[in-house]
Chains A and B, each alone.
Chain A
Amino acid sequence: MSATTQSPTASDSRTPSSSPSRAARLLGDRRLPVAVTALLFLLMYGGGLARYQYYGFAEPQVFLNLFIDNGYLLVAAVGVTFVILSGGIDLSVGSMIGFTTMFTAWLVERQGLPLLVVVPMALAVGAFGGFLMGYVIHNFEIQPFIVTLAGLFLFRGLCLVISKESISISDSTVSSMAQAQASLGVGFLSIGAIVSLVVLAVAFYVLHYTRFGRRVYAIGGNEQSAMLMGLPQGGTKIAVYTVSGFCSALAGLLFTLYIQSGDPLHATGMELDAIAAVVIGGTLLTGGSGYVLGTLFGVLVLGLIKSIIQFEGTLSSWWTKIATGVLLCTFILVQRFMTTRKKA
C-alpha cells in the first residue's frame, strides 16, 4: 500500500479504461520542459530587443552569431545529451576538445599533414577515447562519473605531452575554411554553425527514428528492465560514450576552426557548460527523459546570456557564470517539482 491518492473505491481507479486526465497529461508531458526553455529564450531575446534596440541587437546577424559563436558547444552538448539520456554523465568533454585542438594544430603545423587527413584522425581518436571509457564503465561496472573524470585528467595531460605551449595555425586551408561564410540573405553562417546544425538534425533522427536511439531512452528509464526486456544494454552504453567522444572531437575541430590555434588549456571546464545546456534544455539528469531540441535551446540561452552581457558593456564577463548558475539551479528545482508532481 503506497501513499497514492486514489478514489475511495479501489476498484474504480484500477479499471484499465481510465485514461489520464487532460491536465495531468499536460503536466506530465515530457515536451513541457523544452517548451519552457524555448519560451525563456524568446522572452530573453525580446527583452534584449527592447533594451538594446538602438545598439544593433535587432540585426538578424546577432541572432545568427549565436550559432556561429556556440556551434562547438552545441555539438559537444548533443553528445552529452546522449550520455545523460542513457542515465550516465561525461566529464571528459572539455579535455577532449582541448586535446583535439592540440592534436590537430600539432599535426597540421608541426607535422605538415593535410587537413583532410587530420580531421578523420582526430574524429577517430575522440570516438575511440569515448569507446574505451564506455567499455570500462560497462565491463567493470564502474560509475561513469569516475571513469570520465579519469578521462578528463588523461586527455588534459596528453595535451601537455604534445606541447606545453599554444600552437597557432597558419595553414591556408584552415584559415580559408574559418572565414568561409554561407549567406542566408539577411546574414551569414560559418561552417562551424552549419556543421553543428547538421549534427543536431542527425542526433534528432537517431534518437527518435532508430532502434539505437530508443534503446538509449529505455536504458535511461530503467536499466534493469531494459536488460530483462532483452535489449543489449552493454553495447548501447558503450555506443553512447563513443557518440559523446566523437561529438567532443568534432566540437574540438570546430573550436580549432573558430580560434585557429591549439592550446593545452583550451575549453577547460567546457564539459560543465555542455551539461548545463543539456539540463537547462529540459533533459532529466536521472536519464530517460528529454529532447535534443531542448539542448539546442539550452545552448542558445547560454549564448544569449553572453551576448546580452556584451551588449550591456559595463558588466564583467563573470556575470555569465552567475546567470548560468542561477538558471541551472532554477531549472533543476523545476524538474524536481515536475517529477514529484508526476509521482503523486
Chain B
Amino acid sequence: MAEPRPVLEMAGIVKEFPGVRALSDVDFRLFPGEIHALMGENGAGKSTLIKVLTGVYSLDGGTITLDGRSVRIASPLQAQQAGISTVYQEVNLCPNLSVAENIFIGREPTRMGRIQWKRLRREAAELVDRLGLDIDVSAPLSSYPLAVQQLVAIVRSLNTGAGDGEGPGTKVLILDEPTSSLDRDEVLQLFALMRRLKEEGVAILFVSHFLDQIYEVCDRMTVLRNGTLVGEHMVSDLDQVGLVQLMLGKAMGQLDELHEHQLRSDAGDTLVQADGLGRTGGIAPFDLEIRKGEVIGLAGLLGSGRTELARLLFGADQPDTGKVTIGGRRVSMSAPNDAIGAGVAFCSENRKSEGLVPDLTVRENIILALQASRGWTRPIPVAQRDELVAKYIKALDIRPANPEARVGQLSGGNQQKVLLARWLITQPKLLILDEPTRGIDIGAKAEIQKLVVSLSEEGMSVLYIAAELEEVLRLSHTIGVLRDRRLVAQIANGPEITTSRILETIASGEHQ
C-alpha cells in the first residue's frame, strides 16, 4: 500500500447511553494533510464520535491510536495535549473575557507565574492578523458578533498545544459545524485557512450539513448511519446523489415525492385574522389572514421580523396595536396561554433553550403541553398517555423509538420531532413553526416538510418560517415577505412564482 500511515485511527468504537446505543463498532481513520468529512443524518452518531475523540464522553469499547500509539483520552484537556483540537458548533468561549484571553487562556505566557499581558496581547494580535481579521483583541469577546466569535474559537484551537513548546502542536483539528453561523465571505475565509493548514500537514475533520461545502473543500469522507459505519470514500469518487443515498439508506426517488405535492388553492374559511397588529421595536403593524388548512410561509432576511411576527401571534410578545380574532373570537394575546387556549401552537427556533426539557424523557416531553392544557388536577390516564406517545413516536419516526430515552441524548433532528409531537398532540388549529428544519439533515428535513403538507391536508393551518426560500416556496400556499420589520407583501403561490421573484420582493420591498 502506498498510502501513508494515518495520524489517527479509531477502531471498533462503541458508545452507549441509557436506552440508546449511539455508536456500535465504528472505525474511523484520518490522514495527515487531508480534509475529511464526517457525514450522516442527525442521530447517525457524528457528534458522539467527535465527543468520544475529544474526551467529553468516555469510551465503552474500541481503541484510539494516535501517531501509531494507543491512547486513552479522558478529558478535553488530554485531547488538547495529545494534539487534537476542536471547534464546536456553538461557540464555546468565555464571553466575559477579552478576545486575546480567549485565545490564550490556559496557556498564557508567564514569567515566574506572572502573566505577561503585553506579550499575550501582541501575540494574539499577530495570530488574528494572520487570519486577516481586523479586531481589537483587548475588547471583550461579547462585543463581537457570533461569526467573529467563531473565528476566534478557530484561532484558539489552532494555537492549542503550539506556542510555548508544551505540546506537540495541533495534529488533528476538528471543526464541528463551524459554518452554520458564517456568511459566504466568512466561509471562504475559513476554507482558505483550512487549505493552508492542510498544506502544513494538519489533519482536519470537518462536519457540515451543507453538501456543497463538503464537495468544495474535502478530500475524503466517512459516512455513518444509525451509529454504524456505512463506508469511507474519496469525495471525487462519490457524487452528491450517491452520498445522500448512503446517508439515508434509501433511494433518492423517495425524496422527490414532495416536489409532486400539489398546492391546493381551495383553502377553507378564515381561521386567524390579524388587523393592524404590531409592536414598537418588534414589527410594524400588519394585517394577516390565515385560512383553515392554509400554509403561510414567511420569507425575509435574518432580522427582518419573521420571528417577531410569529411571537405576536402566539402572545409571547404583547402587541401594542391591533387585534387578533381566532375562529371568529377576539383573543387578547396578553400571554401565550391565551393563544394556546385558542388553539395556537408555537415551535420555537431555539429548541434547546425555549422548548425541550433535556433531562426529561421523550414521553414526558411529549405529554407536557397536553397535560398543561388539561390542568394539573386532571391527570391523563396511563394507558391513553402511552398510546398517544407511541402513536406520535411512530408517526414522526422519532429515533430511538424509546419513550424512556432522555431527550438531551437525542440528536437535533429527533429533538425537533419531539417538540413537534408535543404540540401536535394538543391538536392545534394553527401551528407556528419557526425554523423547524434548521441544523437538521436532509432526511429529517424532508420528513418534517411532508408532515406539514399532510397536516395542512387534514385542515390544520401552518405558519412556516424558514431561512431557505426553496423550502418556503415548496410548502406554502401564501408567502408573506418581510423586510426591515415590516410585512411588505403577501404573494399567492403558483407555478409562476420563483425564488428569484421572492428575492426581488425582499430586495425592493415591493411586489410587482
**Residue positions of A touching B, CB distance < 8 A:** 1-6, 8, 10-11, 13-14, 16-20, 24-25, 28, 30, 208-211, 214-215, 217-218, 220-222, 224-232, 288-289, 342
Docked CA distance A5–B304 (Å) = 10
Q: Which residues of B contact A8 (CB under 8 A)?
A: 301, 303-304, 483-484
Known A28-B140, A209-B114, A214-B101: A228·B92 in contact at CB below 8 Å: yes
Q: Is the CB of B94 within 8 A of A221?
A: yes
Known A224-B92, A342-B142: A231·B105 in contact at CB below 8 Å: yes
**Residue positions of B touching A, CB distance < 8 A:** 56, 75-77, 79-81, 86, 88, 91-97, 101, 105-106, 108, 110, 113-115, 117, 133-136, 139-140, 142-145, 147-148, 151, 156, 160, 183, 185-186, 281-282, 301-304, 306-308, 349, 434-435, 483-484
Which 8 pairs across A and B sit closest by C-beta, in order of nearness?
A: A221-B94, A221-B96, A230-B77, A288-B96, A225-B92, A17-B134, A20-B143, A230-B80
Q: Which residues of B contact A210 (CB under 8 A)?
A: 110, 113-115
Q: Is the CB of B94 within 8 A of A288?
A: yes
Docked CA distance A222–B135 (Å) = 22
Question: Which of these, A4, A16, A211, A289, contacts B110 with CB under 8 Å?
Answer: A211
Q: Which residues of A contact B148 (CB under 8 A)?
A: 16
Docked CA distance A30–B483 (Å) = 36
Question: Which of these, B79, B105, B349, contacts A1 with CB under 8 Å?
Answer: B349
Known A210-B114, A230-B76: A19·B139 in contact at CB below 8 Å: yes
- Distance in angstroms from A230 CB to nearest chain B CB is 4
Q: Which residues of B contact A19 (CB under 8 A)?
A: 135-136, 139
Q: Is the CB of B94 within 8 A of A225?
A: yes
Docked CA distance A225–B147 (Å) = 17
Most chain A CB neighbours (cut-off 10 Å) among B97, B108, B183, B185: B97
* Complex: chain A residue closest to B306, CB-CB: A1
- A222-B96, A226-B94 provided; 18 other pairs, C-beta below 8 A? A8-B484, A10-B301, A10-B302, A16-B186, A24-B143, A30-B140, A210-B113, A214-B97, A214-B108, A215-B106, A218-B105, A225-B93, A228-B92, A229-B94, A229-B156, A230-B160, A231-B106, A288-B94
Docked CA distance A3–B304 (Å) = 10
Q: Which residues of B contact A289 (CB under 8 A)?
A: 96
Docked CA distance A230–B434 (Å) = 35
* Complex: chain B residue closest to A19, CB-CB: B136
Known A222-B95, A225-B92: A14·B145 in contact at CB below 8 Å: yes
Known A6-B303, A214-B101, A231-B77: A17·B135 in contact at CB below 8 Å: yes
Q: Which residues of A contact B139 (CB under 8 A)?
A: 19-20, 25
- Distance in angstroms from B22 CB to nearest chain A CB is 19
Docked CA distance A288–B302 (Å) = 30
Known A218-B105, A228-B88, A229-B92: A16·B151 in contact at CB below 8 Å: yes
* Complex: chain B residue closest to A1, CB-CB: B307
Q: Which residues of A contact B183 (CB under 8 A)?
A: 10-11, 14
Known A209-B114, A228-B76: A16·B147 in contact at CB below 8 Å: yes
* Complex: chain B residue closest to A210, CB-CB: B113
Q: Which residues of A contact B349 (CB under 8 A)?
A: 1
Question: Which of these, A6, A16, A208, contacts B135 with CB under 8 Å?
Answer: A16
- Distance in angstroms from A82 CB to nearest chain B CB is 15
- Distance in angstroms from B325 CB to nearest chain A CB is 26
Q: Is the CB of A1 within 8 A of B143?
A: no
Most chain B CB neighbours (cut-off 10 Å) among A11, A25, A229: A229
Question: Which of these, B92, B115, B140, contacts A211 with CB under 8 Å?
Answer: B115
Known A1-B349, A8-B484: A217·B96 in contact at CB below 8 Å: yes
Q: Which residues of A contact B91 (CB under 8 A)?
A: 225
Q: Is the CB of B96 within 8 A of A229?
A: no
Q: Which residues of A contact B302 (CB under 8 A)?
A: 1, 10
Q: Is the CB of A25 within 8 A of B143?
A: yes
- Distance in angstroms from A107 CB to nearest chain B CB is 34
- Distance in angstroms from A333 CB to nearest chain B CB is 21
- Distance in angstroms from A119 CB to nearest chain B CB is 26
Q: Which residues of B contact A220 (CB under 8 A)?
A: 96
Q: Which residues of A contact B79 (CB under 8 A)?
A: 230
* Complex: chain B residue closest to A220, CB-CB: B96
Q: Which residues of B contact A11 (CB under 8 A)?
A: 183, 185
Q: Which residues of B contact A228 (CB under 8 A)?
A: 56, 76, 86, 88, 92
